[in-house]
Amino acid sequence: MTALADQPSRLRPPGPSPWSAPALLARMARNRLDVMRSVSARYGDAVRLPLGPKTLYFFNHPDHAKHVLAENPGNYHKGIGLVHARRTLGDGLLTSEGELWRKQRKTIQPVFQARRIARQAGAIAEEAVGLADRLHTMVGRDEPVDIRHEMTDLTLGVLGRTLLDTDLGEFGGIGDAFEAVQDQAIFEMMSLGAVPTWVPLPRQRRFRRARAELQDVVDQLVARRRAAGGIAERDDVVSRLIGSTSEETDPQVARQRMRDELVTLLLAGHETTASTLTWAFHLLDRHHDVWERVHAEAVEVLGDRTPVYEDLHRLRYTAMVVDEVMRLYPPVWLLPRIAQGDDVVGGYHVPAGADLVLCPYTLHRHPEFWAHPDRFDPDRFDPDRSTDRPRYAYIPFGAGPRFCVGNNLGLMEAVFVIACVARRLRMSVQPGYRLVPEPMLTLRVRGGLPMRVHEA
């Protein structure tokens, strides 16, 4: 007979009984963040969650994140939520797998290298200054401004300028189209795909309209670029994609790949940064001491001028604030995967085909690695402070080969926007407004964030 100790790979993680599935699903629909936190507090770093027809393997230790994302990433494809998002994003960089993903990443990655993004610093800074100017016109108004909406417009504007060389404002409301797409993806995720897509629910209709609208925007962008010529010389995202898809013999396939790739970049690139900024302004309002330090740094480093690339390293405290905002409210709060073959994670058996999630939201608040995990304390990211925190305890941009391609762009944008706004303005949440986190594909503030704007 084989001793149990010889077969650790057959061990199953602990978790609630399958009988609790209906109650668990109902709690998930109401408050997913709360469920993830409470089950990890109760059962530990590895939990099996029975969710009706499915079982979810939830791993919540830095070593687990390291194994799944960086040591054995080939065994894991993108999972729940992202699978549903594939209806919009098709086989874009975020959702594709295998050889196709490798080829796409090779095409797109060079555009996002740090030195290339550094050259975009001027454009990003101008957008940040423009936003602060716009907000300044709202000082003293009775009507609050929806900061989530402002941040969405801003981040779409930055993507348009930096990646597409286009003013996306011309196309009007594409932020709303992305909203409809997210709404549908999260609905499909929560209903585990049980409602067929042909059912004429208003949400499905909205989704279909939104998808067509986004694809139309992309088609127009590409058509304009082709008409303008000089594609090879530009070497930006659009021209690289035109180059790589020209190998396709079927023009329909080429067009679809272009749509998938650009809609993916627009979605992945704007919601994440917009949500970081929205949470940041909320937290700065709640922590006046932190706002004062950010304000003082911005005044000292920038004075009255528009930021330049070198300021990124001088705005050291502001960068720490951004890190801490993404610790507490990681825009990508869940990393879903599907195991392709059997594996062992943290000593537990994960069967082929299993749905598995890592959850940056709970990992970033894991009490073993973060003192006072719910406290907003940017100083914990002070590079001069020594820390024995494991590297994979903090993964706002993921890790391993699927690490976020746009992290340099997102970080620069967040630091410049916070500095440019805080040097002139202070913003306070509308009194009485109850702020509720909404874990969609990204972790958002439900219903927007009404704030009043004041002189600093």
In angstroms, what is the minimal distance from the CB of 271 to ligand HEM?
A: 9
Asked if 81 is part of the footprint of ligand HEM (rule: CB under 6 A), the reply reads no
Q: Which of 397, 420, 437, 448 binds ligand HEM (CB under 6 A)?
A: 397
Q: Which of 184, 272, 318, 362 binds ligand HEM (CB under 6 A)?
A: 272
Q: What is the dihedral of CA 434, 41, 392, 124, to 10 degrees?
A: 0
Q: Which of 364, 402, 424, 426 binds ligand HEM (CB under 6 A)?
A: 402
Q: Which of 151, 268, 320, 363 binds ligand HEM (CB under 6 A)?
A: 268
In angstroms, what is the minimal distance from the CB of 401 to ligand HEM?
A: 7
Of 50 and 396, which has the nearer Cβ to ligand HEM?
396
Of 47 and 85, which has the nearer Cβ to ligand HEM?
85
Residue type, position 116, single letter: R
| Whole-Å CA distances, 179 to 328, 336, 408 | 23, 21, 24
Residues 6+ apart with CB under 8 A from 359: 36, 58, 60, 333, 334, 335
Longest dimension (CA), the chain: 78
> How many other C-beta atoms can be found within 10 angstroms of the C-beta atom of residue 248?
14
Q: 119-140 b/e with 16+ CB inside 10 Å = b? A: ebbeebbbbbbebbeebeebee
Q: Using CB under 6 A, which of the segments 114-122, 204-212, 224-232, 267-275 binds ligand HEM?
A: 267-275
Q: Using CB under 6 A, which of the segments 23-31, 226-234, 245-253, 268-276 binds ligand HEM?
A: 268-276
Q: Is 440 helix (H, G, I), strand (E, B) or coil?
A: coil
Of 25 and 357, which has the nearer Cβ to ligand HEM?
357
Asked if 418 is part of the footprint of ligand HEM (rule: CB under 6 A), the reply reads no
Residue type, position 358, single letter: L
Residue type, position 442, single letter: T
Asked if 94 is part of the footprint of ligand HEM (rule: CB under 6 A), the reply reads yes
In angstroms, what is the minimal distance from the CB of 144 to ligand HEM?
A: 25
Instruction: Please choose, from the candidates 284, 288, 313, 283, the residue with its C-alpha nearest in 3D space to the C-alpha of residue 301.
Output: 313
Cα-based angle 50, 29, 340 (whole degrees, multiple of 5):
45
Residues 6+ apart with CB under 8 A from 141: 452, 453
In angstroms, what is the minimal distance from the CB of 361 to ligand HEM?
A: 11
Q: Which of 124, 409, 415, 422 binds ligand HEM (CB under 6 A)?
A: 409
Of 94 and 290, which has the nearer Cβ to ligand HEM?
94
Of 25 and 268, which has the nearer Cβ to ligand HEM?
268
Q: Using CB under 6 A, which of the segments 46-54, 60-68, 299-307, 406-414 binds ligand HEM?
A: 406-414
| Whole-Å CA distances, 66 to 46, 209, 328, 358, 418 | 14, 40, 20, 10, 31
Q: Which residues bind ligand HEM (CB under 6 A)?
A: 78, 93-94, 105, 159, 264-265, 268-269, 272-273, 276, 326, 331-332, 335, 396-398, 402, 404-406, 409-410
